[in-house]
Amino acid sequence: MRWTLKPKPELSKIKHLSEVLQVEDSIASLLLQRGIETYEAAKKFFRPSLSDLHDPYLMKDMDKAVARIEQAFANGENILVFGDYDVDGTTSVALMASYLKTRIDTVATYIPDRYEEGYGVSIKGIDFADDNDFSLIIALDCGIKAIDKVAYANEKGIDFIICDHHRPGAELPDAVAILDPKRDDCHYPYDELCGCGVGFKLVQALASNEGKSIEDLTEYLDLVATAIGADIVPITGENRTLAYFGLQVINASPRAGIKAIIDQTKKTEMTITDVVFIVAPRINAAGRMKHGNYAVTLLTEENEVLAQTYAAQIEEFNSDRKETDQQITQEALLQIEAFNEQERFTSVVYHESWHKGVIGIVASRLIETYYRPTLVFTKSGDKLAASARSISGFDVYNALEACSEHIEQFGGHKYAAGLTLKSQNYEAFKQAFEDEVSNTIDKSLMTPEIKVDMAIDFKDITPRFYRILKQFAPFGPGNMAPIFMTENIQDTGYGKCVGGDDKHLRITAKQANSESIVGIGFNLGDKLELITNRKPFKAVYSIDENHWQGNVSLQLKLRDIKP
């Protein structure tokens, strides 16, 4: 791993901020690195307020969307809430449907089948709407590129409202309203909302017509926080405020479905990391292994007993998902080795029988071994479908765009995308993608990077320092948990490997003139030799709490160690 120490902010700015906030220079420096330079900005960061949320009507087409939905309410129209099968999509559908049902009874939900219909708005979904007299479809977390599908719906007299957050193409669908902060002609102040966040802004606008304030809508924020965590959007600005209050709802009074998932895990207090690694994979497992409808049913269920039953069912899907992705990962690694592709700039693998629902997870797992842009293909009907994942600093969406002559359809983000192509184009695409990445990637990006916020000494790690650090949460892209570096460390002689196969490293470390502190390094067991016999070493780490038999102590969460 390469360690990159972030530039230290100007000393005068550090001194000014530490004085006005009455905090240590190190805290002031961390805030400045996050773009927080004033008392007012720090107050908003540490004490988010729902009043910080932007006026939803600042979003392009919001007035049109609200007018069309109010018209549907007035006329008693049937409304179909349509969404993708992942966490962002299913939480969006649950949120929108739950709210609309407080206003009108004629609301139904539709999640496309991952295998029969694929990603996004589908002809089958529009036919379902037509057969069941739905005159309005609200599409969430998808639709920004559904030009042909929306045209098909228009022919049938069905109106579309699109709430999306993916990048638009050159042309927009002919919908009644398109809410997408990434539209070039949309000047909404924050453009990093997830799909559920865009849906929430529409609910916020509709509710304001009823005379409701943002405080009346907090019950929906557990869904928004879950989507923000799962979709790996920046936890800055409006997302941070939504995640902050959403976590409060998750910990104090979550909806029955989320509570049922948490109850299975015995967790007492959920962080955004817990949401990402505990709640989100289970919601995702429904769409991956069975059908996204199971997730929507769980997330909209109000009866706690029924919610427990649905959560148990989804837990089974998640267990199946784990087994499947582990097996496919092993097969994919063998394929890379068999074709002697270890030295390439990309990993592109394919097998017709691989489970389409887990290929995105497998792509992420492959990056843990071969750190480079990765695509995992499987057979999908008469075409091949792939999930793409990238490495820090490289835009895989742009790379796919450069290879679009070989692709039928693609969409997504900088770090995650999906695509389909004809099987006869696979080899040509694979070579084109390798050529594009090898020609455009900064070769230094191929070594995983740890961005270090600052160098500190162990004596700086005090209970007060950690209390303030905790208030930097929720953490995520744009506001990652601070990473520190300390040099001239020695183990006190108690360092050892722990866990199955001695995979992990546990140290008791100290510097001269400091108290000792325990550190745990997951998957760092092979670094034991670097710390034995009191050899001096340096480490990068975050700081967290260790709870053991009722005692709470600070510990280092080691990321890497070097001599």
- The string of pLDDT tens digits covering residues 188-220 is 999 999 999 999 999 999 999 999 999 999 999
Q: pLDDT band at residue 342, thresholds of 50, 70 and 90?
A: confident
The verdict on residue 476 lying in a domain is yes
Q: For residue range 466-519, list pLDDT tens digits in order.
A: 999 999 999 998 999 999 999 999 999 889 999 988 999 999 999 988 889 999
Residues 139 and 278 in one domain: yes
∠ Cα 92 234 483 (to 5°): 135
Asked whether residue 435 falls in the same domain as residue 466, the answer is no
Residues 392 and 357 in one domain: yes
Contacts 24+ apart (CB under 8 A), 520-523: 520/555, 520/556, 520/557, 520/558, 521/557, 521/558, 521/559, 521/560, 521/561, 522/558
The whole-angstrom distance between residue 428's C-alpha and the CA centroid of its chain comes to 31
Per the structure, the complete domain to which residue 357 belongs is given by 339-446
**225 in the same domain as 172:** yes
Q: What are the tens digits of pLDDT across the range 413-465? A: 888 899 999 999 999 999 999 999 999 999 999 999 999 999 999 999 999 99
pLDDT of residue 118: 81
pLDDT given at position 115? 82
pLDDT of residue 267: 85
pLDDT mean over 81-89: 95
Could you tell me which of 251, 274, 264, 280 has the C-alpha nearest to residue 89?
280
What pLDDT is recorded for position 426? 97
CATH number at residue 460: 2.40.50.460
Is 433 within the bounds of a domain? yes
Over the range 522-534, which residues count as b (16 or more CB within 10 Å of their CB) and which as e? eebbebbebbeee
Burial (0-12, 13-18, 19+ Cβ within 10 Å), 41: middle
Whole-prediction pTM? 0.91
256 and 170 share one domain: yes
Q: Is the pLDDT of residue 30 over 90?
A: yes
Burial class (CB in 10 A: 0-12, 13-18, 19+), 5: middle
Q: DSSP string of 330-346?
A: HHHHHHHHHTT-TTSS-
Provide the pLDDT confidence category of residue 272 given band limits of 50, 70 and 90: very high
CATH code of residue 358 = 3.10.310.30
Residue pair 82/93 in contact by the 8 Å Cβ criterion: yes
- 3-state DSSP percent of the chain in helix, strand and coil, to 5: 50, 20, 30
Residues 527, 378, single domain; the answer is no
Residue 425 Cα to chain centre, angstroms = 31
Residue whose pair of structure tokens reads 């510097």 in the numeric block: 511
Sorted by sequence, the CB contacts under 8 Å of residue 448 that are 6+ apart come out as 1, 2, 371, 391, 392
How many Cβ atoms sit within 10 Å of the Cβ of residue 371? 17
Domains in the chain, number: 3
Amino acid, res. 419: L
